[in-house]
Structures are given as structure tokens and as C-alpha cells.
Amino acid sequence: MADITRTIGLSLGADICWPICYEALLKQLDLELQVGGDKVRFDCERVLIQPFSLSSDCRYDVVIDRLTHWYHTSREWIKKAILVNDLYVFNNPWSIQSMEKQTTYAAMLRLGFPIPETWMVPPKAYEDYADLKPTLTRYARLFDLREIGDSIGYPLYMKPYDGGAWVGVTAIKDADGLVKAYDESGVRVMNLQKGVEPNDAFVRCIGLGPQFRPVNYDPGAPLHDRYQMDHDFLPDDQRQRLENMTMVINAFFGWDFNSCEALRQDGEWYPIDFANACPDSQVTSLHYHFPWLIKANLKWSIFCAATDRPMKTDLDWHEYFAIADQDIPFDEKLEGYVALARKRFDVDAFEEFCATHLSHLDEVADEFFGTDTVRDAIHQKVTALFPEHEIEEFTELFWNRVQEWRRVEGPGK
């Protein structure tokens, strides 16, 4: 029997609260697991940004990545470590780099998901560069934006094809509003997407490995109130539907951590935004749901590290397309997609691992989220975001919501 220490790296940006809680809870668990004949312990370090040789060793077995989607140095180090050192990373960096929202719409449309009617339009303006003028002169054609808007139908939404954080998203009610929004969009390439209206529910389903949490979501509320605190607000069949759709999306793109936004109309769920790999993890937005995220992150990262999970860079889309091409109802296709996704996430092995090695996590976490360590982490994050006169007020607000989670969802609840 070998004594092995698996090292989990945290590749961080402006993150404050969740890594503090992740590190402290991992330390408190003090795990020593018997896995495959070995005695496995766990260490955790924050990944530094520094020059690296392409042939250098990697000290990490798993990296939870928060930078690949925007910071190129870390992106290239992670890609190197996967290729040279067999590192396992949340999420597939090549997929994050290339799968814009436009691409994800197209892919799920190909699988038969009920994606609302979506168009892409050329940008209103261009940054000048070599060969732009001859290219546009020869091949760009004038188009009637009002005609496109009419064919899609109103209301519709204009949003950047590669956007995030609701930046550049405009709700449009008529042709005049469409023309105005387009004229103001500048050099950004835009999607136009038919609004799912009326609708009676907006849910953001968070997926971390094979763990899912649908959250009632209010995009019009202030950031600290967008994630609603409803508990068990969906019928079991609808909850399962959202979790299945999210699992398939995440497995299809190789994303361990992503969220899927969907609107409900006449009992049908329409995914409208699901290229959110590396979604918000801060207590200042998740509040009540923050402890779930920390626990889910710990479970999946410990499982991946303990089992020396290989990084599967191939996405195997042909397997999904083979199902998509069958002349069967979408529900049957979705069942087939879910089977592929469960295999990719090793769901059965993960659940058995958690039952065997992490059955005490719920009780340890419940106690932990009532400690000064958590309150201080909340205070640090609030201090970084809020004006001085609101720090104590919002620290208390988020702390109380975490305590409400303990009261409602703690062990035995």
C-alpha cells in the first residue's frame, strides 16, 4: 500500500470567499482514504502566475480553474499541463476558448433541444484592419434588419454572440427598438433571439460534475437577490428535466462547472443561455446556495483527485449526433444523451465514492458554515465589492442567508 498525497490547485482571479471556505473545509475534513489499495491524502494550493517551461513538471493532480476564460497566460499553462503532464482541469480549456454562445445554440439545436429562433447579424461597425474594405466590398450584402426582426417575432433579445454577465443584452419590443439597439451595438457581433414570452418561470440550473442545483432566478433583481431562496420549488419531473438538459450540455462541451438558464412556457423548458462555464461562485450572489456550491466543488474535486481521473479532451460528438439523427421523439433522444453524459461523468462511480468516503461531509459542512471562518470570508468579499457604509449591513445579510440554508437544508432536514 502506497501513501499518496493528491494536490488540488486553485487557479484564481478576484475570487475571495469560496477559496477560503473550500480550503478550510478540506482541511477540517482531514481525509485519509483507502482508494485502490493506496492510502490517499489531499493538499490544496493556490496556483501562481509565473513563467514556465513547456517541459516543466506539474505539481497538481487536479486544478479548479477560474481564469482560462479570460486570462491567456493561465489558459496556456493549463493547456500545456494537460498535454504534457496529464493534469485534470475544470473545465476543458479548448472548449471554453472556442465555444461561444452562438456555437452552443447551434450545437443544442442540432441535438433537438427547443432553442428559440436565433439569428446572427454582422456588426454595425468595424475596426479598420488590412483587407477589410475589399472583403466587405466584394462579399458583404445589405440586409433589411426590420424584415429579420419581423420574421423572428417580437419581443426578441439582442445579445453579443460571445457575451457574458448580461453585458450588451437588450430587450426589444418592436422594429424601431431593434434598429436603435443595432445602431448602438458598435463593433460587437450580435445574436437576435426570439423571447420566450409569456413565461411563468426562469431557472438557472448549476451543474458541477454530476451534481445539479436548479435555482429560481430573477435577472431583473439586484445582483444579491437574483438567486432566489426557494426550496424544492419544482415538481420532481421538471427538476429532473432541467438537470438532464444541463448534464447533457456540460458533458457535450466537456465542462465540469457550468450553468444553464431556461424559461418555462406552457410546461416546456426553453434553454436560452448555457455557455456559462465557470459561473459566479461568490457568496455575494449565491448567498443561500453558497454552501451547496462549496460542498459540490469539494466532492467532485476530491473524487477526481483520489481516482486520478484522466482528462478526456475528445468530445465524441459523433455519439450524440448518431442519436440526434434517429427518427424518434426528443424525449427518447434526451434519454440517450443522458446515458452518454452519465458515462462521461462516471456518475455511478462518483455516487459510490461519496457514499463510501464522504458520508460525513454534510455534518462537517453544517457545523463549518456556522463558524467565524465563514463569516470572515463573507466580510472580506463584501468589503471588496460594497461601499464602506454598506459593508456591515450586507455581511449580516449574506451571513443570515447562509444560516438559513443550515436551518432548511442541514443534515436530517
Q: What is the tens place of the pLDDT at every residue in 132-159?
A: 999 999 999 999 999 999 999 999 999 9
Q: What is the tens place of the pLDDT at every residue in 202-236?
A: 999 999 999 999 999 998 899 999 999 998 899 99
**182 SS3 class:** helix
Q: How far is CA 375 from CA 13, 67, 378, in A?
A: 21, 26, 5
Band of pLDDT at residue 21, cut at 50, 70 and 90: very high
pLDDT of residue 255: 97
pLDDT over threshold 70, residue 165: no
Q: What is the tens place of the pLDDT at every residue in 289-333?
A: 999 999 999 999 999 999 999 999 999 999 999 999 999 999 999
pLDDT of residue 164: 67
pLDDT of residue 68: 87
pLDDT of residue 377: 98
Q: Report the alpha-carbon distance of residue 413 to residue 406 in Å, rounded.
A: 9
Q: What is the tens place of the pLDDT at every residue in 321-358?
A: 999 999 999 999 999 999 999 999 999 999 999 999 99
Q: Are strands 62-65 and 88-90 parallel, antiparallel or unpaired?
A: parallel
Q: Report the alpha-carbon distance of residue 204 to residue 214 in Å, rounded.
A: 6
pLDDT of residue 166: 65
Q: What is the tens place of the pLDDT at every residue in 369-400?
A: 999 999 999 999 999 999 999 999 999 999 99
Mean pLDDT score across all residues of the chain: 95
Which domains does the chain carry? 3-98 (3.40.50), 117-194 (3.30.1490.20), 201-409 (no CATH)
pLDDT of residue 388: 97
Q: Where are the alpha helices (DSSP H) in 30-174?
A: 72-85, 93-98, 101-110, 132-139, 145-152
Predicted model pTM: 0.95
Which residue's C-alpha cell is 465524441?
316
Q: Report, as an integer, the average pLDDT of 359-367.
A: 97
Q: What is the tens place of the pLDDT at every residue in 56-110?
A: 999 999 999 999 888 999 999 999 999 999 999 999 999 999 888 999 999 999 9
